[in-house]
């Protein structure tokens, strides 16, 4: 996933680019300054361990050991989590933001910076905002590039495969470690939206409102098929396959109208179509900050997503949110090829049928799936609405249990 965020310095594109190269926030979501590491390095330097213990409001990526985490597969492993927390600590309402496929914990400093901070939609003068790098990630949380204490070598392909529910379990383990009892709002886009649902379903009474942006209740066959092709490329070609897989993925993150408007049939000086040059650039760029095994793990987390699995179906699963009084907003994105608006509408219909106070909203954009990292004015309005609802629900829950 990529975005046209404007924080990228002028003139910082690759040599010979005669078209605008975006800064790539959804696919580069993780470009925290401390988190940039060449592919193949054993442990990305995405976080620092605070000797004083868990830190709040530091405005930087921190690291905390969680202990051993048991996975759905039956495997377990010692886990360290990279996270960033902005704003007040646990005495104030807390917000959880969850990144997408190749992201980092640095939501407030990178990929969602325009909506997090003093006076912004997620106003850190009033609420704490937490974001953590997902298990198996590339930016400080334990993953395939981390050292396996049993061997002294990077886990690599031996890294145990987590599910979206394992990601939720780790999120709550981190919250427990930090002394956060609940979240007034849990929000995430794409893979982050999948994990957000599982976070809410794991502890429904501890979540006021969950906002799902551009994500379904269960991974569909077409998206699984695209992921299958990407992993086949990686299996066959290694890092070269990762570069091509990234190019394939990029075509699903934008809309046809966006590509036509940005590239059309323009040709570069070397004779290639501009769109081909752009995709080649994105494929090479992923190699500078990611590795095949990490990509594989997180893609398979997406494939595992189905909130109805083992719960009697999607509608029955969402009854837990209804019983807890948790609100839900599903935000579809106009022109989204990857997880189209109808998939999000279906999620909202099932949640509503289960008794959840569920709303459907839609981002109007020509950018396709990546709009949840681009359309800042619309995102601000949507998040402000959901946060207000989540705060009200959390207050009612506190009053009822006092």
Catalytic center residues: 190, 336, 369
Residue 118: partners with Cβ closer than 8 Å, 6 or more residues away: 124, 125
What one-character-per-residue DSSP string does 47-105 give?
-EE-TTSS-SS-SSEEEEEEEEEE-TTS-EEEEEEEEEEES--TTS-EEEEE--TT--S
The residues, any chain, with a CB within 8 Å of residue 57's CB and separated by 6 or more, are: 85, 86, 87, 88, 89, 124, 128
Instruction: Give the DSSP H/E element, type plus range, for residue 328.
Output: strand 327-333
Helices 239-253 and 292-303: crossing angle, nearest 10°? 40
Whole-number Å distance between alpha carbons of 65 and 93: 24
Distance CA 83, CA 46 (A): 9
Using the structure block, give the residue that is written with the tokens 């950018």: 367
Range 175-205 burial, b when 16+ CB lie within 10 A, else e: bebbebebbbbbbbbbbbbbbbbbbbbbbbb
- Alpha-carbon distance of 371 to 363, in angstroms, equals 7
Nearby residues of 153 by Cβ (< 8 Å), 6 or more positions away: 147
Mutual orientation of helices 292-303 and 191-202 as an angle, nearest 10°? 60
Task: Of 228, 80, 82, give the one whose Cα is nearest residue 155.
Answer: 80
In terms of Cβ atoms closer than 10 Å to its own Cβ (0-12, 13-18, 19+), residue 149 is: exposed
Length of the chain: 402
Contacts of 73 (CB under 8 A, 6+ apart): 160, 161, 162, 163
The residue among 216, 245, 231, 211 whose CA lies nearest residue 339 is: 216
Q: Which helix (H) or strand (E) holds 331?
A: strand 327-333
């Amino acid at each position: 996933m990529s975005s046209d965020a404007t924080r990228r310095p002028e003139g910082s594109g690759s040599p010979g680019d005669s078209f605008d190269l975006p800064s790539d926030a959804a696919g580069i979501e993780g470009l925290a300054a401390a988190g940039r590491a060449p592919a193949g390095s054993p442990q990305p330097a995405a976080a620092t361990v605070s000797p004083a213990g868990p830190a709040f409001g530091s405005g930087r990526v921190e690291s905390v050991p969680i202990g051993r985490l048991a996975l759905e597969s039956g495997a377990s492993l010692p886990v360290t989590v990279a996270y960033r927390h902005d704003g007040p600590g646990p005495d104030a309402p807390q917000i959880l933001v969850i990144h997408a496929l190749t992201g980092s914990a640095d939501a407030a400093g990178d990929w969602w910076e325009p909506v997090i901070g003093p006076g912004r939609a997620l106003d850190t003068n009033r609420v704490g905002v937490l974001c953590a790098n997902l298990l198996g990630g590339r930016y400080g949380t334990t993953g395939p590039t981390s050292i396996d204490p049993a061997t002294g070598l990077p886990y690599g392909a031996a890294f145990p495969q987590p599910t979206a529910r394992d990601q939720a379990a780790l999120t709550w383990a981190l919250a427990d470690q930090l002394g956060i009892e609940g979240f007034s709002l849990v929000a995430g886009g794409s893979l982050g939206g999948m994990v957000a649902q599982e976070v809410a379903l794991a502890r429904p009474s501890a979540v006021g409102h969950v906002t799902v942006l551009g994500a379904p209740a269960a991974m569909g066959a077409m998206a699984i098929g695209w992921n299958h092709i990407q992993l086949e490329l990686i299996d066959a070609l290694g890092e070269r396959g990762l570069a091509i897989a990234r190019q394939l993925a990029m075509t699903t993150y934008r809309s046809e109208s966006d590509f036509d408007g940005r590239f059309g049939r323009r040709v570069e000086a070397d004779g290639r179509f501009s769109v081909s040059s752009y995709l080649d650039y994105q494929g090479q760029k992923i190699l500078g900050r990611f590795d095949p095994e990490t990509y594989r793990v997180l893609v398979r987390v997406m494939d595992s997503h189905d909130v109805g699995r083992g719960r009697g179906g999607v509608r029955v699963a969402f009854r837990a949110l209804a019983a807890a009084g948790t609100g839900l907003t599903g935000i579809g994105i106009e022109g989204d090829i990857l997880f189209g608006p109808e998939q999000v509408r279906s999620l909202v219909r099932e949640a509503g049928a289960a008794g959840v106070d569920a709303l459907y909203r839609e981002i109007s954009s020509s950018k396709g799936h990546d709009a949840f990292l681009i359309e800042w004015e619309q995102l601000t309005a949507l998040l402000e609405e959901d946060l207000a609802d989540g705060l009200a629900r959390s207050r009612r829950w506190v009053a009822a249990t006092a």
